[in-house]
Structure formats: C-alpha cells, structure tokens
C-alpha cells in the first residue's frame, strides 16, 4: 500500500526562495535608510527578514530532515517506514489512494474519487 509523504523538492524551493527574500529585505532596509525614508520602511524590511528566517527554518527542516510536514509525494511503505493512517469510529483504518491522494478505507478496492484500483 502506498501513502502520501512530504515532498523534498517543494520544501527546497521554499528554502531557497526565503533566502532570496531575506537578501531582498536587506537591500530594502539599506535603500530605505540611504534615501532617508520614514522609520516604517526599514521596519517593514526587518519584519520581512524575521518572517523569511522563520519560513527558511521550516522549509530547511522539511527538505532535509527526517520528520517532514507537507504532503506532496506518494511513496511505498518500504521506501519510508512512517505510516500515515488514522482510525475513524473504530470501523477501520483510513489510507490514501496512491493515484490522487484521496482518503480511502482499508476495505475499499477502488478509490471513490479517481476510480482506480487500490489493491
């Protein structure tokens, strides 16, 4: 059975994008200070840097860490051993379609969303 797992590539893109945003914010602050802009403009750059650092940290952990957060990739249990499943009203375990990512019960043979065979 396949499961939905976090994606590495979108997180790497997010990490490098946030680094670029931090660099832009530094240039923003330097430019605002140089032209003598009101205090609000450099403050905006500082806030942007703080948000960029927080998002860069999140994306870095998700791109290179073991416990990933976002759901983009669909992998086999043998590829990554962390299982995403939950019980609903003790009726069975919920899994996900390997084709569209729709939640399906363990007893389902076909995905109700895409109609492809699951087992």
Residues 104-118: what's their mean pLDDT? 83
C-alpha separations of 25 from 20, 42, 55, 100 in Å: 9, 9, 14, 38
Report the half-sphere exposure of 5 (CA within 13 A, side-chain side).
Answer: 19
Does residue 1 surpass a pLDDT of 60? Answer: no
Task: Say which residue, 80 or 59, is predicted with more confidence.
Answer: 59
pLDDT, the chain, mean: 76
Spans of all domains in the chain = 2-64, 87-119
The token pair at 74 is 């669909």
Task: Considering only residues 8 and 51, tell me which one the structure prediction assigns the higher pLDDT.
Answer: 51
pTM, whole model, 2 decimals? 0.51
Higher pLDDT, 80 or 58: 58
């Amino acid at each position: 059975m396949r499961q939905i797992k976090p994606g590495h590539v979108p997180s790497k893109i997010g990490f490098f994008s946030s680094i670029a945003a931090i660099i832009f914010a530094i240039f923003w602050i330097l430019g605002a200070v140089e032209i003598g802009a009101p205090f609000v403009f450099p403050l905006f750059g500082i806030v942007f840097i703080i948000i960029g650092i927080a998002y860069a940290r999140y994306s870095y952990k998700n791109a290179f860490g073991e416990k990933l957060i976002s759901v983009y990739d669909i992998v086999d249990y043998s590829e990554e051993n962390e299982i995403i499943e939950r019980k609903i009203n003790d009726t069975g375990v919920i899994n996900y379609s390997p084709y569209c990512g729709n939640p399906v019960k363990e007893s389902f043979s076909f995905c109700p969303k895409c109609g492809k065979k699951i087992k």
